[in-house]
Amino acid sequence: MFNLMKFLKHFLLSGIIVGTFAYFSEITKNKICALLYCGLPIGFLYMFLFTDMIRKEQYEYTFDGIIGTIFFLIYMLFFYTLLKYSKLNIFVIILITLILFLVTLLLTNKFFYKLF
C-alpha cells in the first residue's frame, strides 16, 4: 500500500542530498565535484540508512547494486565515447546512450542475469 509520508520523507531527503552535490558541482565545475557526485555511493548508502531492510535483503541489494554499477559504467562509456568523438547534439547523445543502455539491459536479462 502506498504510504504518502514515507514517500515524502524519501523525496525530500534524497532531493536535498542530490541537490547539494549538483549545486556545488555547478558552482565550482571542478573534477572533485564530478568525482564525488558520480563516484560516491550516495543512493546505495541512503537505502541502508533510511529504509528498513533485513540482512538477507541487504546482501541481495548489495549484489544487485554491483550489477547496477556495471550497467552504469557501460552507460558512461557509451556517453563519454559519443561526447568525445562525435559532433552530435547533446540530446541525440542522451537518446542514443539510453537506447544502447536498454539494449544492453535486455540482452543481459535474456542471457546472463535475470533482472525482471
Mean pLDDT of the chain: 85
DSSP string of 19-79, one letter each residue: HHHHHHHHHH--HHHHHHHHHS-HHHHHHHHHS---HHHHHHHHHHHHHHHHHHHHHHHHH
pLDDT single digits (tens) 31-81: 777 777 777 777 777 777 777 778 888 888 888 888 888 888 888 999 999
* C-alpha cell of residue 98: 539510453
Residue 90 has pLDDT above 90, yes or no: yes
- pLDDT for 31 equals 77
Does the global pTM surpass 0.85?
no
**Mean predicted confidence (pLDDT) in 23-34:** 79
Query: Which pLDDT band holds residue 85 (cuts at 50, 70, 90)?
Result: very high
